[in-house]
Amino acid sequence: MEKKGLKLEQQLCFEVYKASSNFTKMYSRVLGPFQLTFPQYLVLLVLWEEDHLLMKEIGDRLGFGTGTLNPIINRMIAQGRLLKEQSTEDKRAWVISLTEKAKKEHEPISQAVYEKLISCNFLDVNALTLMKNLKDLNAFFEEMDL
């Protein structure tokens, strides 16, 4: 039987893996001045779209488990960006809200990210094709339940 040795350069997983770490590094440079990490920025993105969400709702949208999300939220509370209040209807659930500080940051942070993307020509046609293929891929992953 021939060798089943898949070469590194042929592996989709590796290209995706590298692309992800490349993105994380790029975003880190943009977000660093705001004392913000990429996952923390994702949490802000979610809450800027809709404030006052439960931990679970944020986790669902980002695909974060509680073991990942909880420490992130705690750090962002310590940063003065988030508030956590127990839900009155369901005492198990906690509502996460943006502070005024985090609301005011919406514009400048989005602007900084936007300018970086522009300066990289990231908003071109190629990115759209990639986007579509990746959405298909991720939908596929969710279907097959890994």
Partner DNA sequence: GTAAATTAAATCGTGGGCGATGTAAAATAA
Partner DNA sequence: TTATTTTACATCGCCCACGATTTAATTTAC
Site residues for DNA per CB under 7 A: 21, 24-25, 28, 37-40, 54-56, 59, 63-68, 70-73, 75, 84, 87, 89-94
Q: Is 4 in the site for a second copy (CB under 8 A)?
A: yes
Q: Which of 49/89 has CB closer to a second copy?
A: 49
Rounded CA separation 49/44 (Å) = 8
Of 94, 95, 78, 93, whose CA–CA distance to 40 is shortest? 78
What are the angstrom distances between the C-alpha of 102 and each of 58, 81, 85, 116? 16, 5, 16, 20
Q: Tell which one of 37, 42, 57, 95 touches a second copy (CB under 8 A).
A: 42
Contact 29, 41 (CB under 8 A): no
- Which partner in DNA, a second copy, none is near 54 (CB below 5 to 8 A by kind)? DNA
Closest approach, Cβ 92 to a second copy, in A, equals 26
